Amino acid sequence: MSSPSRFERQARFAPLGDAGQARLEDARVLLVGCGALGGVLAQSLTRAGIGRLVLVDRDVVEVTNLPRQVLFEDRHAREGTPKVEAALESLERIGGPTRFETHALHLDADHLTTLAQGCDLVLDGTDNLATRYLINDYCVREGVPWIYGGVVGAGGLILAVRPGVGPCMRCVFPDPPPSGVLPTCDTAGVILPAVGAVASMQAGLAMRLLADPAKFEPALIELDVWHGDVRRIALPRAEACPCCGRREFPFLEAPAADTAVSLCGRNTVQVRARGQRPDLDRLTERLTSTAQDVNRAGPLLRFAADGFRMTVFPDGRALIEGTEDTERALAIYDRWIGS
């Protein structure tokens, strides 16, 4: 238990109290995504005194992140720092009892099953639907609560899911919409006040779920910070829901994702290692005489070649910047990094 004085005013809030604060400090939370929503969530929960925070994000910091992703600085963007590392650096400066665990990786079903072990709650700080449907499948199957958050433009949605008590995400949104149908931050833009409002609502619901889950009634919350609108929509579980009703988990049980995936609005393709992981020390040596701007920055290797910029992670995953063509990215990966 931390020093009583640190959380004295927080614990004076009657619905939380000393008992609720103690439960927060005993909790283990998985946060998927350390960018816009994830940054505000991580900061809020760290300051609230969450016991352990497990952070996972596959990306590196870019300059376009800085207007809305609160844990990052100019130098993180210049250096292409992995988001989980930059987040950890910022969060550790806060101090307090929270312990951190970081993973710079693409979250698939296997990783989720491992990282969510022993977690009391999963938080959505992502920017893609595929990962959210994966999280929903896992949490419903295992009975772990999770909180969805989505933001575009000046508005967003929040849904806290308590498996077996209220609706899951597929009760509300049974299937992912076709690509390109919904507006995204890249097509409609996004402003930090909307990010902060959605993530703060998620963080408040997270504290309540962890401190006093018995009295929690899930609902879909819609807000718009530009017009000052907030709407709470009580929704029942859908009896015919394929996930929490029929116990079907296709997103969790699907074959492994494609080796190459184009990242929305980034002009970047993520390529996952298909064979043995590359030896980054030897790869750095080899590239020094053939590629440009070769830079070994901590666990990452960054370089330029053939008009593309590449970032290689220790697990062999790479971000190929300068194309949305997955086949082209695979060819570049094989040529410069190896299959």
pLDDT at 159: 97
Q: Is 185 a catalytic residue?
A: yes
Q: Count Cβ atoms below 10 Å from residue 140 Cβ, excluding itself.
A: 25
Helix (H, G, I), strand (E, B) or coil at 193: helix
Of 119, 185, 241, 244, catalytic: 185
Structural domains of the chain, with CATH? 8-253 (3.40.50.720), 260-336 (3.30.310)
Burial of 141 (0-12, 13-18, 19+ CB in 10 A): middle
Q: Which amino acid is present at 32?
A: V
pLDDT of res. 194: 97
Q: Which residues of 164-189 are buried (b: 16+ CB within 10 A; e: fewer)?
A: eebbbbbbbbeeeeeeeeeeebeeee
**Given this model, what pLDDT does residue 321 score?**
93
pTM of the model: 0.84
Q: Which residue has the tokens 């330029």?
A: 304
Give, as one character, the DSSP assignment of residue 190. B
pLDDT tens sequence for the chain (339 residues): 566 689 999 999 999 999 999 999 999 999 999 999 999 999 999 999 999 999 999 888 989 899 999 999 999 999 889 899 999 999 999 999 999 999 988 888 999 999 999 999 999 999 888 899 999 999 999 999 999 999 999 999 999 999 999 999 999 999 987 655 677 776 688 999 999 999 999 999 999 999 988 878 889 999 999 999 999 999 999 999 999 999 999 999 877 656 788 887 688 999 987 666 788 888 898 899 889 999 998 788 999 998 999 999 988 889 999 998 888 888 788 888 875
- What confidence score (pLDDT) does residue 186 get? 65
DSSP structure class, residue 63: G
Q: Which pLDDT value is given to residue 122?
A: 98
pLDDT at 322 (0 to 100): 92
Length of the chain counted residue by residue: 339
Report the first-to-last Cα separation within the chain, whole angstroms.
49
Backbone angles phi, psi at 158, to 5 degrees: -135, 135
**Predicted local distance difference test score (pLDDT) of residue 2:** 60
